[in-house]
Structure 1
Amino acid sequence: MPATCSLIITTYNWPEALNKSLESCLLQTITPIEVIIADDGSKEETRELIKSYQAKSLPFNLIHCWQEDIGFRAAQSRNNAINAASTDYIICIDGDIILHPNFIEDHILHAKKNQVLAGKRVRLSQRFSQRVISSNEQVSPVSALFYSERGRKNAIRSTLLSRYRSKVSRDADSVFSCNFSFWRQDAINVNGFNCDFIGWGAEDKEFCIRLINNGAVKKQLQHSAVCYHLYHPELSRQMADINQKIYDDAILKQLTHCKNGLTTMGTAY
């Protein structure tokens, strides 16, 4: 079990959602040593939001990793953050995710060597998401149960249920980078996320399957590491077929390494 961790939050031009995500980081029972914003080229409003948090007395170090906006490059933005991380263990979420207060604690408690963790999410309704963003209201398990659009059962946090329903496997099914954690050295060993992924696609699953091919197992968390996904319209899936082939090749060829990853990074600051 790691003593502490780094939390990576990916974001792109939605500071209102990122603000709610950062607010939830401040309510954690166990805080990460650092929160790293993996920014895929957001404009000044996001930078100003992050600066306003950095000016506060925070229980963690807040780091902003920004890269030029030349298209959807979530894989590279996460690699920027992995390179910037200073701890042994990394948790990934997206900038439209609000954390249950025990989210970080749950990931740390379940973490083991040679294992990655994949959690679930509650998809909040459009109306409730707008209400949360425009107010000081916090999402709770009760409100998530009432105002969820999908994944209502994922709002239930239970140590007992988690013990019996969380399963270990060697596949990347149900892996989403909005609730995922791994050891930093394991990520380095497989050369991080594959930057051949451009646009929406399975870059999180492909990363996970290379970790598995390299000796890890996946633990699918149930009723633990609860988080709430703010509503947004579906992203363009123009590159879905091309990206799916990259993932399929990693499975078919049992790849443990990608060429275009952590060691071939572009410029970020």
Structure 2
Amino acid sequence: MTTSVLITTYNRPDTLIKVLEALCRQTRPADEIIVADDGSGQETLDMIRGFEKGFRQTIEHVRQKDKGFRAARIRNKAIKRSTGEYIILLDGDCIPSGCFVQDHLALAERKTFLQGKRILVGKEISDSFTYADTKTTVKLIRHALRGELSNSHHLIRLPWFPALCNRKQSGIRSCNMSFFREDIFAVNGFNEDFTGWGREDSELAVRFYRHGLQRKSHPFMAICFHLWHEANSTDQLRVNDAILESCTRSKEYFCKNGLEKLDHESHE
């Protein structure tokens, strides 16, 4: 099964390069890597071009103008560009573990989407933390004992441990999520009514559930390391909460402002 990894980023070439390096060192490489760029400057473009030359890895770069936080829209643009049968979402400050793509594919199951887990990397070590650190057991244990890694129980990889399926709304995070291509198109992708940080992934989950999917998760597989950063602005959160609430009350799973209308939009 072919797979596309979509990485959302905005003006963080310093962390994006760490994510790209990790994706190039996977036990099962992705068939396609797409950077979904929410309006970054020239530095990000230069980094991607340099990375392609250094690693001999083709990176698709999908970009839109910088008009504020529009993660839903840029993810939709990247989904439209992708070709994989299975799509993995990753944020540009989340370093995937070495078995990340392999695990997502192993856990892929019809009528489910996968919610991956994350280990939070503390502020003290985030700048220096790289993919190499994720492969060094002694370092990881030391960081965990010092309190520099949160959710460190996810460090253990136990493929035999059973996955869980439910329809909970808590803990939905698109920084580490995957689904079948046909399912994201069936619900018309992310709802672009969401601007500003928050809730676009929770609303997608509601529509996935309504379409008949369950959320699948595994505490010891498909892990990423989320690097510390300043909290995003929550100025739009009240508006986004209202959109989510409206979706929760609705019986529809196909959003009106999603993938479909992108065919009729100008490129921004």
Same fold (TM over 0.5): yes
Whole-angstrom CA distance in 2 between matches of 1:56 and 1:233: 30
Cα RMSD between the aligned structures? 1.8
Whole-angstrom CA distance in 2 between matches of 1:175 and 1:146: 29
Of 115, 120, 125 in structure 1, the residue corresponding to residue 117 of structure 2 is: 120
Does the 8 Å CA contact 2:17/2:51 hold for their aligned counterparts? no
Paired amino acid for 2:120: R
Question: In the alignment, which residue of structure 1 is the partner of 2:76?
Answer: 79
Write out aligned runs for 1:166-245 (5 A): 166-245=163-242
Residues paired across the two proteins, number: 261
Residues 207-262 of structure 1: CA deviation (Å, up to 9, x unaligned)? 12211111111102211101100110111111111111212222221330111111
Does the 8 Å CA contact 2:133/2:140 hold for their aligned counterparts? no
Write out aligned runs for 1:73-112 (5 A): 73-112=70-109
Question: In the alignment, which residue of structure 2 is the partner of 1:138?
Answer: 133
Question: In the alignment, which residue of structure 1 is the partner of 2:12?
Answer: 14
Does the 8 Å CA contact 1:72/1:200 hold for their aligned counterparts? yes
Deviation at 1:267, TM superposition (A): 4.1
Question: In the alignment, which residue of structure 2 is the partner of 1:30?
Answer: 28
Does the 8 Å CA contact 1:171/1:209 hold for their aligned counterparts? no
The answer to which of 241-250 and 189-198 deviates more is: 241-250
Deviation at 1:141, TM superposition (A): 6.5
Question: In the alignment, which residue of structure 1 is the partner of 2:152?
Answer: 152
Whole-angstrom CA distance in 2 between matches of 1:145 and 1:175: 27
Deviation at 1:175, TM superposition (A): 1.5
Structure 2: state its 5+ residue gaps: none
Paired amino acid for 1:254: K
Paired amino acid for 2:153: K
The alpha-carbon distance between structure 1 residues 61 and 172, as it changes in their structure 2 partners (threshold 3 A), is farther
Whole-angstrom CA distance in 2 between matches of 1:206 and 1:145: 36
Question: 1:121 aligns to what SS in structure 2?
Answer: strand
TM-score w.r.t. structure 2 length?
0.92
Deviation at 1:149, TM superposition (A): 4.0
Identity, % of aligned pairs?
35
Whole-angstrom CA distance in 2 between matches of 1:191 and 1:257: 6
The alpha-carbon distance between structure 1 residues 55 and 267, as it changes in their structure 2 partners (threshold 3 A), is farther
